[in-house]
Amino acid sequence: MVMSIGYNPFYKNTVRSAEVHVLHEFGQDFYGSDMAISILGYIRPELDYVSLEALVVDIKTDIEVARKSLDRETWKKGGEDSYLWGEGTE
């Protein structure tokens, strides 16, 4: 996933929120399901945009950056870490 945490200034939000874009295409929706996340990196600061199109372009760039990072061998090896799967955290 890529996630924005902040006020989303383009939409003039006054409450901080987390907005998630899931990268994997699931065969069915999972609304109402519990989800655990681990934040593994940082791509860029929150920005304001002059248009929705400019926002969409940056989100697509963020997705490309995330996919390329996750394809690196070091990330794949790190994905085997039991901590990321909730083991040993109780």
The residues annotated as belonging to the active site are 19
Distance of alpha carbon 9 from its chain centroid, rounded? 18
What's the N-to-C CA distance of the chain in angstroms? Answer: 24
Instruction: Please say whether the beta carbons of 90 and 84 come within 8 A.
Output: no
